[in-house]
Amino acid sequence: SGQKVCYGDFKRSCYKLAYFQDLSRRVGFQEARQACEIDGGALLSLESEAEQQLIENMLQNLTKSGSGISDGDFWIGLWRSGDGLASSSACPDLYQWADGSVSPFRNWYTDEPSCGSEACVVMYHQPTANPGLGGPYLYQWNDDRCNMKH
């Protein structure tokens, strides 16, 4: 399930957002990727600041329509395959878009990506968390373990 929103002015004219307050319905990166592909789409690739802002606005509308404030990060289509150079300074350059997009746009949270065993990327959505060094945990990107449920 999810909410489908369409626009005419972006490369991808339609977006589908799925936000589950029920923790048991959240899935890992590969499950989310497969669900998107079964639905004829792909996990989100963000190619510009304008598209990032569009998605932030959509998430604000989606999450405020629910019952109460709830934390829950969103998978996006950025990931790092393999971990050969995961601990090197080259690590941030190893992330790629799952749909093959080549956009260099990134919106990492302060001190991210941390690499290591974290190879899949979420867009933060933690309105109840105390702000960290990079401010509130809202809409910036964080690498996470691919088996985490979001």
Residue ranges per structural domain of the chain: 2-144
Q: How far apart are CA 60 and CA 52, in angstroms?
A: 12
Of all residues in the chain, the percent with pLDDT exceeding 90 is 55
Q: How far apart are CA 115 and CA 73, in angstroms?
A: 18
- Per residue in 121-137, pLDDT (tens digit) is 999 999 889 999 999 99
CATH superfamily ID and name for 2-144:
Mannose-Binding Protein A, subunit A (3.10.100.10)
Contact call for residues 101 and 47 (beta carbons, < 8 A): yes
3-state secondary structure of 76: strand
| pLDDT tens by residue, 26-62 | 999 999 999 999 988 899 999 999 999 988 988 887 6
C-alpha triplet 73, 108, 130: angle, nearest 5°: 55
| Residue from 29, 41, 38 nearest 73 by CA | 29
Residue 8 has pLDDT above 70, yes or no: no
Q: Which two tokens stand for residue 17?
A: 């957002």
- Which pTM was predicted? 0.88
Give the list of residues 6+ apart from residue 58 with CB closer than 8 angstroms, or none.
5, 15, 17
